[in-house]
A and B are shown apart, each in its own frame.
Chain A
Amino acid sequence: MSTTNKEIGPPVIELGAMGWLRKNLFSNWYNSLLTIFGLYLLYILIPPLLNWIFLDANFVGSTRDDCTNEGACWIFIQQNIKLIFYGLYPTEELWRINFVYLILFISGVYLLIPNLKHKGWVGAFLLIIFPIICVIMLSGGLGLEAVETRLWGGLFLTLVIAGVGIVLSLPIGVMLALGRRSKLPVVSILCTIFIEIWRGVPLITVLFMASNMFPLFMPEGVNFDKLIRALIGVMFFSAAYLAEVVRGGLQAMPKGQYEASQAVGLTYWRMMALVILPQSLKMVIPAIIGSFIAIFKDTTLVLVIGLFDFLGIIQFVGTNPDWLGFSHEGYVFAAAVFWVFCYAMSWYSQRLEKKLDTGR
């Protein structure tokens, strides 16, 4: 420690990395204690996890005997990858699913790149023509061999259920929300009852009803595919939740907006479509995406009614006698994939929220 410095700057502990550490981690005695505790927590969690997932893991091989290292046996996932991603869908028809993915990917990227023209057309294509393409490509028709839905499975089935649930539940949810706020008492009461019943019961009972009791409600001989019944259940369930989100947005609209639209002579539907809904939906976009994430996570429940979604098929391949005892790998892989999807949605929602936060 020399005292012959030419110039005395601020103490080193207030600057740069040291300063940051001091301010954010060691500002006083209990903060320091907390930091040490936090570091210890990370120390006992992260290294073993990293070792198991990467460093000690097995990546190459074709049978369980190739898993000689102590860590995870990713060969299990690798060997069953077709089942996990596509279920029992016939191998020679897999290009159809991939083709649908490709269209979705291209139009999705197009929509996400800022400042491109004709986005409206692409959006309309996605909402109107794309679903038709999906149905024909995936289930067959127009010369394509029919593939029964009981062969659908894996991540593909999860995406189908979540996708249909998300796309169809939004308009129904908006209608229910408008209905609940309607001035016509009958309409409003019926919508309220409808919403509250669906929101009040667990999805698992809804799915059970859709899979086992729905046929009882139909005339004899009228029967829908099991997947379609599950989709109807998921759709109404999430529509009821979305309805409440949208209603929140409608309630937050200043009364002046309604009065102004009526003053310029707009009819109810034009007022809603042109003035109220665009603004109120914008306000609740984060909550809407939150509901979408919930739908996506909830699709896992279909395994309870015997559909083999992503999680269901991972459990199923785990019971194969050749691969007994690898449930950890299966669950970790499933968790990682679900996490990526959900986190991507929530990240996009936050970004959108910032971007749209223009007005008020």
Chain B
Amino acid sequence: METDRSKLGSFLFNRSVQGVFYQLITLGLVALGIYYIVTNTARNMLERGLASGFHFLGVESQFDIGMTLIEYSPTSTYFDSFIVGLLNTLLVAGIGILFATIIGFTIGIMRLSSNWLIAKIAEAYVEILRNIPLLLQIFFWYFAVLRALPKPKQSLELYDSFFLNNRGLFIPDTVFGEGSSIIFYLLWLTIIISIGIFIWAKRRQNRTGERFPAFYVSTALILGTFFISLAATGFPVSFEYPELKGFNFKGGVKLIPELVALTFALAMYTASFIAEVVRGGIMAVSKGQTEAAKSVGLKQNLILRLIIIPQALRVIVPPLTNQYLNLTKNSSLAAAIAYPDLVLVFAGTALMQTGQAIEIIGMVMGVYLFLSLFTSLIMNLFNRFMKVDGER
């Protein structure tokens, strides 16, 4: 009897048994919670006569979208509107990331400048921009700056080809005539060759220690081939300039003010964080590295290129991707200023017209979640790739 009890006791107080017990309880409660929410939702939807399912995706949307990267009209389906919104989100994120990187690296390096004034200006930039909410900055650029621009008839212009007014930024469009496809093929070919040169140069350097100026050679190759082929085919590239017709400019590429304001705000805001990432990364490379490089007689620009940047990049890249991801998620603030992104078009207009909140919000969240998880995956691979031998 007593032994049984002690057996039972030891069984109950056994760590692993307790662990299993707790886990079962947790799992049960979570399952119960999900069941609770799902049944409530199902019942509510039934009682309120809400439609469900994804049939709506194939239905004609009947509404228009201000800016589309693919062919789209009111006869397109809701699924098309989803794609349009998604592409617009990716577009603003892509341009934003490009500019944020350029500005961010510039400011980050400026902060480390030996020039006191430049370093202070960069510091002021960072401290001001990252301490003001992004939404406020978007409003500022959109409502306070871009709205104050002149009407189309009084546009600000540059060389008669760039026009800026309160309807957007109009830039010339490149039109490729006949025979221009050969130029593209050649361009691709030279890019592939250049990659080959890089690999070959790296191998040779590993083997013999001799350095090959791969960067200059490949740049010369790509640009040279490009211009020679342009000349050889008789410049089949022309420009289409925006022209004032009726209400607004026609022709050329039109960047709507919502896009300009959003990109501007996202890039400036994210750049202030990227600047700090870059500064941290460069500072993480110990001073001894620079000194050692100097003492073996490397020149300043080589020290930067061969010693500091490669080491700093390992520190910079993970938080940098995080910032890119933040920028992409923050682009959802587009909804506040009428830029037709995924949230405005799909979780806005499409949701209102169909009333299918659960499916639509689910899809939108799924997109962002996918982007986020996908980026983490790439990051993990990068970290594994960049791991120096001997490090844990």
Contact = CB atoms under 8 A, between A and B. Distances in A.
A31 B114 CA distance: 8
Interface stretch (B200-208, B233-241, B360-368): B360-368
Contact of A190 (B26, B121, B333, B357): B26
Interface stretch (B74-82, B126-134, B175-183, B251-259): B126-134
B132 A202 contact: no
Chain B interface helix/strand/loop/mixed: helix
Interface residues of A, number: 53
A201 B335 CA distance: 15
Contact of A201 (B27, B30, B365): B365
B37 A217 contact: yes
Interface stretch (B64-72, B100-108, B138-146): B138-146
A88 B227 CA distance: 66
Most chain A CB within a 10 A radius of its CB, from B132, B332, B368? B132
B23 A187 contact: yes
Interface string A192-213: 0000110111111100110011
Interface string A211-235: 0110011111000000000000000
Contacts of B195: none
Given A184-B23, A186-B27, A338 B116 contact: no
B139 A331 contact: yes
A283 interface: no
Nearest to A329: B144
Nearest to B374: A200
Interface stretch (B41-49, B55-63, B162-170, B288-296): B41-49
Contact of A24 (B22, B44, B45, B114): B114
Interface residues of B, number: 52
A218 B329 CA distance: 28
Interface string B25-39: 011001000000100
Q: Which of B23, B368, B373 has the most chain A CB atoms inside 10 A of its CB? A: B23
Interface string A297-320: 110110110000001000100000
Given A196-B373, A339-B128, A25 B40 contact: no
Contacts of B333: 204, 301
Interface in A292-350: 293, 297-298, 300-301, 303-304, 311, 315, 327-328, 331, 334-335, 338-339, 342-343, 346
A328 B332 contact: no
5 closest cross-chain pairs (CB), A and B: A200-B372, A24-B116, A342-B131, A186-B23, A200-B369
